[in-house]
Structure 1
Amino acid sequence: MDLIRIILAIILPPLGVFLQEGLGKHFWINILLTILGYIPGIVHAVYIIARDEPVRV
């Protein structure tokens, strides 16, 4: 499932973060990074998806 999220994060970074974290602070940070530049949004999204921390809701 992480592979699908990473592919979605490359196409649309906030979507990948949303599927991983929901509408939390990381989603809004990613929206801001994607607006400022597409590449920072991708890097942040892949980092959020690839990290090993459990998801907190």
Structure 2
Amino acid sequence: MGSETFLEVVLAILLPPVGVFLRYGCGVEFWIDLLLTLLGYIPGIIYAIYVLVG
């Protein structure tokens, strides 16, 4: 786990769509995470960490 990944995970916990955006841009992963974050903050965090680490 490099420093970039660590920073992305920290951002994924604080602002989930921002962490995903840094890695994937405005791709499908970003829009899914944004929707999940709007529907509930915790699902957005879980999905962001899943996408970034997995």
TM-score by length of 2: 0.91
Which letter does structure 1 place at the counterpart of 2:38? Answer: I
Question: Percent of aligned positions with the same letter in both sequences?
Answer: 53
Question: CA–CA distance in 1 between the matches of 2:5 and 2:15?
Answer: 15
Q: Which residue of 2 aligns with 1:47?
A: 50
**Counterpart selection for 1:28 from 20, 27, 31:** 31
3-state SS of paired residue (2:7): helix
Structure 2 unaligned segments of length 5 or more: list them.
Answer: none
3-state SS of paired residue (2:26): coil
Determine which structure has the larger helix proportion and give its number.
2
TM-score by length of 1: 0.86
Q: Which runs of 4+ in 1 moved over 6 A?
A: none
Question: CA–CA distance in 1 between the matches of 2:48 and 2:23?
Answer: 9
